[in-house]
């Protein structure tokens, strides 16, 4: 054991460090001491259970604290002030009363092959014996060579290498950082292309909870200070209005958002964070859960503010527990914001109470993926998630286990969304049915489902169908159906224009929508430039929303017309006598000719470039007209897409339009002009 070198300041406290007795463990103590020159210490040697029982194989072993238990007990019993562990050896959760006060940087996370004569893995003879103590390393090895015989080896690094040298095994897999700490780099035959444990190479300092003095001592070397955090946020069943205020705030400030199928994709488009789709539907996974866990972890240790956005509630049939366990076990700060789970939303939408004094005093949530494994209680309300494909089997099982065949059942499809459907049935009807039910479906079984509400109450305010990308109706007491009939997307990579020639050869640039601003700057940034590229140009904005988007990039437009339309902008240029100018207009593939033609007639030269696409959404249905009184259009393309999809009469409906071109397009559809309200009402809705 290395003699302790004490600083000259005798008033500095001397700390007792619990450490295993191997050379590697003592080198790890020295490594910590080198990071904290002011540290005065003495080592309290402790033999761990794993050290004393080297016959126990670690492959498939469930003893999570095999190398840490005795050291942690020494700290808890005040025989040591803190313990130093290889971070990957930490149990999860830690023993009660302990906390990790520091996690050090790992200087190498790779695995190395140690072999006789320095042979590489592909140079070993057929059916080689390879020693390892890790089930992860075993799996990685078998991906490369299927003829390998895995031998479980234990002991110190030196003892493992000795087994290679004496021919017991042909090679061993050893953490590169361990070899480097021991000065054994010369034994590395090759670095293996392995996925390793997230905490391989890191050292963890464990102390009794609440010791602020020790926390302060180790703050400077704790890399968790640079880490970000992960928030699991429940989006709710689909209606963005059901998102919590806390969830909304996190989305607004996130660096990256991982989202799934049950969230509203168009809603999250408005947030500045990077978005990554990680949806998982039956038999169609964009990422497996283990991969999602790793993505969250990597983003967090890069210092990012991470939101994992989940449909419904993160803790109800949403793998939230798995993500929490993975992140917390790897020392990443993870927290949860609840969401409205679909069962509660279906209850609210149908006005069927899940509990009722006369009918049900309990609620059971079940998943219908494996009906053979579930038990359906004979009393109370039962709500089945993800049960559409097994609904007949579930109904039959409920009857077999004691429910009456005539027990009412509520079926709710796409809860809280514009195309939500609710129907009523019984266990008997469903069990005898051969029908294929749509998904996502929530199934509510019990007497409460028989209490159908009386829906004859008159409406206090009109209901709206809003067809643009934004809802634009912010009065919560109005009934609003928001069905975007246009879909905004970036142009494909091979169609992205080079913006520099347009900017170099223009005097003005005009932004006609917030999407123009957003996609223009996305392209500009990818091409290695920022807002400074516009410093020699005059900037015009078509309205307040567009100007607000420009302000995010530090740009205040030179012109913003009072009349927020192409015509208004043309009139503004005319009033100011702006002519003989070179004007660049970035726009969508459906950009109207009104603005370029109008500015051209004033004597200007106008060029345009497509930077995003405006397309018709696929697989989108519009509910029956009885559900709404007023239809709101924000663009001519929305009008076109609406009339492509409707297959019902639209008599006795009122319309609100944004801009003269949208009104003109609506009139072309033979709509009575008397039914089109003053376009100014569009602005008063929001």
Q: Known catalytic residues?
A: 260, 280
Contact (CB, 8 A) for 262 and 238: yes
Tell the burial category of 620 from Cβ atoms under 10 Å away from its Cβ (0-12, 13-18, 19+): middle
The tally of CA atoms less than 13 A away on the side-chain side of residue 169 is 23
567: enclosing H helix or E strand: helix 566-575
- The DSSP letter of residue 513 is S
C-alpha separations of 554 from 233, 325, 471, 511, 557 in Å: 31, 42, 27, 14, 10
Distance CA 410, CA 429 (A): 12
Distance CA 266, CA 238 (A): 11
Place of tokens 């996502």: 440
Whether cis (ω within 30° of 0) applies to the bond prior to 93 is yes
Contact (CB, 8 A) for 464 and 450: no
Contact (CB, 8 A) for 355 and 381: yes
Tell the burial category of 468 from Cβ atoms under 10 Å away from its Cβ (0-12, 13-18, 19+): buried
The DSSP annotation for 408-432 comes to EEEEEESTTSTT-EEEEEEHHHHHT
- With helix as H, strand as E and coil as C, how does 621-643 read? CCCCHHHCCEEEECCHHHHHHHH
Distance CA 376, CA 394 (A): 9
Long-range contacts formed by 215-220: CB under 8 A, 24+ apart: 215/101, 217/36, 217/39, 218/36, 218/101, 218/102, 219/102, 220/36
Check the CA dihedral 565-570-576-582 and report its sign. positive
Cβ-Cβ contacts under 8 Å for 601 (sequence gap 6 or more): none
294: enclosing H helix or E strand: helix 289-301
Distance CA 317, CA 467 (A): 32
Check the CA dihedral 668-671-672-678 and report its sign. negative
Distance CA 472, CA 657 (A): 12
- The DSSP letter of residue 434 is -
- Tell me if residue 436 falls in helix, strand or coil: coil
Contact (CB, 8 A) for 509 and 534: yes
C-alpha separations of 641 from 454, 576, 645, 666 in Å: 35, 37, 6, 11
Residues paired with residue 81 on neighbouring β-strands, in sequence order: none
């Amino acid at each position: 054991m290395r003699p302790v070198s004490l600083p000259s300041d005798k008033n500095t406290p001397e700390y007792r460090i619990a450490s295993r007795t191997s050379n590697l463990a003592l080198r790890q103590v020295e490594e910590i001491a080198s990071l904290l020159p002011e540290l005065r210490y003495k080592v309290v040697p402790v033999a761990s259970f794993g050290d004393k029982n080297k016959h126990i194989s670690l492959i498939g072993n469930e003893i999570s604290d095999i190398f840490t238990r005795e050291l942690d007990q020494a700290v808890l019993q005040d025989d040591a002030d803190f313990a130093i562990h290889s971070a990957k050896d930490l149990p999860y959760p830690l023993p009660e009363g302990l906390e990790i006060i520091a996690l050090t940087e790992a200087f190498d996370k790779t695995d190395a092959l140690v072999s006789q004569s320095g042979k590489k893995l592909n140079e070993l003879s057929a059916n080689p014996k390879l020693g390892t103590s890790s089930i992860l390393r075993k799996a990685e090895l078998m991906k490369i060579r299927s003829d390998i015989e895995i031998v479980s080896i234990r002991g110190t690094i030196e003892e493992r290498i000795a087994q290679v040298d004496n021919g017991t095994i042909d090679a061993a897999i050893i953490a590169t950082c361990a070899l480097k700490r021991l000065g054994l780099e010369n034994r590395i035959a090759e670095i293996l292309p392995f996925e390793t444990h997230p905490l391989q190479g890191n050292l963890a300092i464990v102390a009794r909870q609440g010791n602020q003095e020790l926390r302060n001592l180790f703050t400077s070397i704790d890399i968790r200070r640079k880490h970000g955090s992960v928030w699991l946020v429940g989006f709710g069943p689909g209606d963005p209005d059901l998102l919590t205020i806390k969830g909304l705030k996190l989305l607004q400030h996130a660096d990256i958002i991982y989202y799934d199928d049950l969230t509203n994709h168009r809603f999250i488009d408005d947030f500045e964070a990077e978005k990554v789709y990680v949806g998982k539907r039956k038999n169609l996974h964009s990422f497996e859960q283990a991969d999602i866990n790793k993505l969250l972890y990597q983003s967090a240790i890069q210092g990012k503010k991470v939101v994992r956005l989940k449909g419904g509630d993160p803790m109800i049939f949403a793998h939230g527990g798995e993500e929490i366990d993975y992140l917390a076990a790897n020392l990443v700060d993870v927290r949860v914001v609840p969401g409205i789970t679909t069962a509660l939303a279906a209850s609210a939408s149908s006005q069927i109470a899940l509990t009722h004094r006369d009918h049900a005093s309990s609620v059971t949530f079940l998943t219908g993926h494996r009906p053979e494994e579930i038990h359906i209680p004979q009393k109370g309300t039962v709500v089945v998630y993800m049960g559409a494909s097994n609904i007949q089997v579930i109904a039959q099982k409920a009857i077999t286990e004691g429910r009456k065949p005539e027990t009412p059942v509520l079926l709710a499809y796409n809860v809280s969304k514009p195309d939500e459907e609710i129907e009523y049935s019984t266990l008997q009807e469903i069990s005898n049915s051969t029908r294929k039910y749509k998904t996502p479906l929530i199934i509510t079984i019990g007497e409460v489902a028989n209490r159908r509400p009386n829906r004859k109450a008159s409406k206090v305010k009109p209901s709206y169908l809003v067809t643009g990308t934004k809802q634009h109706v912010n009065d919560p007491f109005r009934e609003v159906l928001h069905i975007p009939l246009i879909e905004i997307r970036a142009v494909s990579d091979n169609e992205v224009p080079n913006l520099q020639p347009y900017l170099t050869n223009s005097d003005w640039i005009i932004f006609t929508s917030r999407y123009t601003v957003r996609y223009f700057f996305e392209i500009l940034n990818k091409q290695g430039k920022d807002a400074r590229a516009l410093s020699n140009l005059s900037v015009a904005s078509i309205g307040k929303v567009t100007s607000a988007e420009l302000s995010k990039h530090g740009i205040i437009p030179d012109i913003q017309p009072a009349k927020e339309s192409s015509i208004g902008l043309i009139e503004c240029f005319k009033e100011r006598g702006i002519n003989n100018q070179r004007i660049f207009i970035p726009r969508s593939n459906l950009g109207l000719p009104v603005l370029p033609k109008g500015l051209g007639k004033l004597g200007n030269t106008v060029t345009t470039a497509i930077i995003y696409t405006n397309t018709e959404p696929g697989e989108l249905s519009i509910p029956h007209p009885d559900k709404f009184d007023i239809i709101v259009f924000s663009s001519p393309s929305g009008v076109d897409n609406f009339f492509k999809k409707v297959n019902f009469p639209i008599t006795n409906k009122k319309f609100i339009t944004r801009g003269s071109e949208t009104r003109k397009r609506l009139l072309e559809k033979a709509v009575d002009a008397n039914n089109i309200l003053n376009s100014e009402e569009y602005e008063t809705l929001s």
